[in-house]
Chain A
Amino acid sequence: MSKPPLKPRISKEPFVGYASTPSIDRRFLLGFGAVTIGLTSAMGYMIAKTQPGGGRGSWDMGTQVELAGSVYAAPYAYMRMLVNGRVQTVLLGCETKCGAKERLDDIAFETGGAIVRGSLLERDGYQMLATAAGADWIEPRPVEAPPEPVIEDLGEARLTGEILDTKCWFGAMRPNEGLSHKACAMLCIASGVPPYFGIRDAQGRERALMITDPDGNALVQPILEFVAEPIEVVGRIIRIDDLFQFRMDVGSVRRLV
């Protein structure tokens, strides 16, 4: 019946939480706490240091501006202005996740001169006006109109890039690309924010093209599932002054991951 002696599984002065902590435990625990804080801080330092940058762009929500120009409701709400003799395109959004097209539809506005009020989002020359809340966000009236748009067909292209929602990408959010931002970008585009196709040009610079269907109309539902993923897609590039449209053939989309 006899076996080797059983060894107790304890080896030190007993610890009872509500009693005085033995000095051996106190020293060990404080040392363990200090080492753990040091290690977790080092981990936080490394993760912060090695993560991708937040992204460019800004949104000066506190400054309301007035822009005068020709306003268009299609394919997405935007306006064309003359700035120093050159035509500049500014997308029209709103203060939340929506586009201004619905707001233009509400007042049966299609095309024409107007003063538009709101706050400006900017990224590397791309601009969006987050139209102010309230009824006086737009004032239709004759303004100095830019010349008729110069439309140039640049031909068919196979592009590699990512579908972006313009409001976040122009600066409402940072970071504003990739899978972490996918659901937000999908929600924005589904809610009316114009979608752009983000690419890098031959010099490695970020460029973004307005996405439309092959006829130049708004394209939303068919592209939603591909938003924020690296894809390759065929389409025709149309230049309208400083705006590049990418008339996308959704059937040609190929996921790259």
Chain B
Amino acid sequence: MSVGFQAVQWNRFKIIYDLVLWIGAITLVVVFILVTNATQSEGESYHPVQLVLRAFGLTAIVLLFITLSIGPLARLSDRFKPLLYNRRHMGVTVFLFAFLHAALVLVWYHGFSETNIFVSLLSTNSNYGQVYGFPFEALGLAAFLILFVMAATSHDFWLDFLSAPVWKLIHMMVYPAYALVVGHLVLGALQDQTSLFSAWAVSGAAVALIGLHLMAGWKEARDDKRADRKAEDGWLDAGEPCDIPEGRAVIIAPKGGERIAVFRDGDQVAALSSVCRHQNGPLGEGHVRDGCVVCPWHGWEYRLEDGRAPAPFTEKIATYPVRLVDGRVQVRAKPLPPGTYSEPVTVYVEDIEGEPA
């Protein structure tokens, strides 16, 4: 949420996040290098360049796995949600390590000859028709290009410039990139291993990642099913006002429609789209602060009554008319255009007595 361009809007949380991230990354590189050197048989050694390029590649893959795990972990438990806030820094760090790995590979393995390094990379080994001996470098290159595009467009400027759906589509390419990286490893470095440990690590990580996403998807589908409400005369039931905790929301998920977040701020109840304009974050899992709904992912804010970001910001989301019938909150199924004022409904003290919050 930025009205003017700023490369990084640093704050204390981001600084500590990045510090821990880089301590972890550098520790992994150092451990890998020291242990490799310490465990060589007599007369054997790694060339320093090859050792470092392997350490960078390993670090990129490990960080990519962690980056991809954060999304489903945050869906499974609120405790992991803060990790999403600065996840793009981890993504860019993945790219930096992948870049260092790729640059060293390119220069070391494909340089120092009369053949152009890129020509060599793409054409020296052209055994695309076989599994063993397949030019696994091509898979790594494809993954690298995806990571490059993602890193280059990671700033919110590009989100605004490309529009949220296009930006989201580009950044969902991280999953094909991960698959390409696994293929790069399986057809390359893993083939030279004499121990099965690395193969187990790669396959275990892939299975864990798939499992986490399936669990998160299953939980979301279950929550949506519970939150499903059929419209009667175009209005959806959102329960009693006391079911909505102070400053929080309940989410309605009408079949085929967008999730709706029904917030209560004191005695005012209003409904907004539960989808943040930023990265489709779950607004309904956020909270109300100074009359604005705050997205739990990156802190984007929208006014409760009209779905508009407070000035000078210009983002806006759809609002929904709300009414109180027989002591129950009802929300109109059809949204109003983004940014349209919709009068919040006032609930009475007796309606929110015994509130769960």
Contacts and interface: CB of A to CB of B under 8 A. Distances in A.
Contacts of B136: 179
B237 A3 contact: yes
Given A183-B137, A187-B110, A225-B127, A10 B192 contact: no
Contacts, number: 219
Contacts of A1: 232, 237, 328
Interface residues on A, range: 35 or more
B107 to A, nearest CB: 11
Nearest to B133: A229
A53 B58 CA distance: 17
Contacts of A188: 113
Contact of A6 (B47, B250, B282): B250
A166 B123 CA distance: 21
A207 to B, nearest CB: 16
A174 B48 CA distance: 9
Given A46-B197, A47-B58, A54-B45, A175 B50 contact: yes
Contact of A174 (B50, B127, B296): B50
A191 B115 contact: yes
Contact of B58 (A44, A182, A187): A44
B194 A97 contact: no
Interface in B165-199: 187-189, 191-195, 197-198
B42 to A, nearest CB: 10
Main secondary structure of the interface of A (DSSP, over half): loop
B188 A180 contact: yes
Contacts of B40: 53-54
Contacts of B5: none
B13 interface: yes
A123 B133 CA distance: 26
B239 interface: yes
B287 interface: yes
A15 B287 CA distance: 9
B66 A45 contact: no
A110 B289 CA distance: 86
A225 B28 CA distance: 36
A41 B245 CA distance: 42
B337 to A, nearest CB: 26
B315 interface: no
Minimum-distance CB pairs A-B, first 3 = A54-B46, A178-B192, A48-B35
Interface of A: 1-12, 14-19, 21, 25, 28-30, 32-33, 36-37, 40-41, 43-56, 96-98, 173-175, 177-184, 186-188, 190-191, 225, 228-229, 255, 257
5 contacts: A21-B82, A25-B82, A54-B50, A173-B47, A190-B124
Interface of B: 9, 11-14, 20, 23-24, 27-29, 31-33, 35-36, 39-41, 43-47, 50-51, 58, 62, 66, 78-83, 85-86, 108-110, 112-115, 120-121, 124-125, 127, 132-133, 135-137, 187-189, 191-195, 197-198, 201, 223, 226-227, 229, 232, 237-240, 243-245, 247-252, 282, 284-287, 289, 294, 296, 298-299, 328
